[in-house]
Structure 1
Amino acid sequence: MNSDKKLYTFEEIKQKLANYCVYQDRCHAEVEQKMREFVLIPEAKEEILLYLMKENYLNEERFTRSYIRGKFYLKNWGKIKIKMHLKQKGIHDKLISSCFDEIDENDYVKIVRKVYENYNAKLKGLNDQQKKLKTVKYLISRGFEYDVILEVSD
């Protein structure tokens, strides 16, 4: 038995995990990671996961939609980067694709344009061709699609 883990009752752990999900939308992988902090048998973990899903504390679609909105509208990430990070969290391609309707296409182009213009304006001491190349590379690193970047860079 691992002595550095504090012991809780089953109900206390269930409540702690419910609170963890209430604080912010979580995916299954995050909840399973959090469960590793507690001493639980596999059956108890399964029961807690079922409880969290049944009571709608844990909802993969809601998490995915919230994640997409946050990373796009607050952090200005592109679809490629968002999708990659969601896949790392164990979210399925089908669910990711169906949730991308959270991003309005007009907003998407506006954000790409805004990020392009802001970054491009910061570059000093380069000719136009060098600035454009550096800016395109930057936008690709932010997860934006090459064809969309080219659309706004002309």
Structure 2
Amino acid sequence: MDEPKKIKISNPEVALAKAEHFCAYQERSQQEVRDKLYEWGLWPDAVEQTIGRLIEGNFLNEDRFAKAYVKGKFNQKAWGRIKIKQGLKLKRVPDVLIKKALLTIDPDDYMAALTRLLEKKATAVNEKNEFKRRYKLQQYAMSRGYEADLIAEVLKNSDL
């Protein structure tokens, strides 16, 4: 089976147009765009120049990306703040923007999402021992990026 042909671009103007399309399709972090430009075979000066032009043209905006990422991961995948923060760090988003973006999650919605997550998981856990059952629920919620103190609070105030 033939491997897909790798696109090689050496013209910065062609790369800019392609990168604009790449950014217009969905919000991207600077690092994602940088990786894509290197993948296309652009040399370092052209990569940084292209990123600068994408920022000027408002195709690339880390703040907007961070907020969209937080909103998407929380609303679609019900991730907790810890997992979302790790995801943004992997995309090399600055800490100050991560903090700002995480503040966009409404605390009441966050607790409601955690409660829903635990209630849904509780129906799937067939553990008779009360302590083991709670431990499994706690571990599951922690794996989804929720804070231990909030998980304990939800488990304490419910009959899961």
TM-score using structure 2 length: 0.89
Alignment identity in percent?
36
In structure 2, which of residues 120, 126, 129 is the aligned counterpart of residue 127 of structure 1? Answer: 129
Match of 1:17 in 2: 19
Q: Matches of 1:146 and 1:17 in 2, distance apart? A: 41
4-13 or 24-33, which deviates more: 4-13
Q: Structure 1's 61 and 7: CA in aligned 2 closer, same or farther, altered over 3 A?
A: closer
In structure 2, which of residues 20, 42, 50 is the aligned counterpart of residue 48 of structure 1? Answer: 50
| Cα-to-partner distance string for 1:27-46 (whole Å, 9 max, x where unaligned) | 01100110112232322212
| Cα-to-partner distance string for 1:128-153 (whole Å, 9 max, x where unaligned) | 22211100011011110011101111
Q: Matches of 1:41 and 1:93 in 2, distance apart? A: 28
Q: Matches of 1:84 and 1:125 in 2, distance apart? A: 31
Q: What one-letter code is carried by the residue in structure 1 that aligns with 2:76?
A: L
Equivalent residue runs for 1:4-83 within 5 Å: 5-7=7-9, 9-83=11-85
Is there any run of 5+ residues in structure 2 with no aligned partner, and where?
Answer: none
Task: Give the C-alpha shift of residue 92 in structure 1.
Answer: 1.6
In angstroms, what is the RMSD of aligned CA positions?
1.6
Match of 1:118 in 2: 120
TM-score using structure 1 length: 0.92
Q: Matches of 2:9 and 2:87 in 1, distance apart? A: 33
Task: Give the C-alpha shift of residue 126 in structure 1.
Answer: 2.4
Is there any run of 5+ residues in structure 1 with no aligned partner, and where?
Answer: none
- For residue 103 of structure 2, give the secondary structure of its aligned residue in structure 1: helix
- For residue 113 of structure 1, give the secondary structure of its aligned residue in structure 2: helix
Contact 2:71 2:105 in 1 (8 A): yes
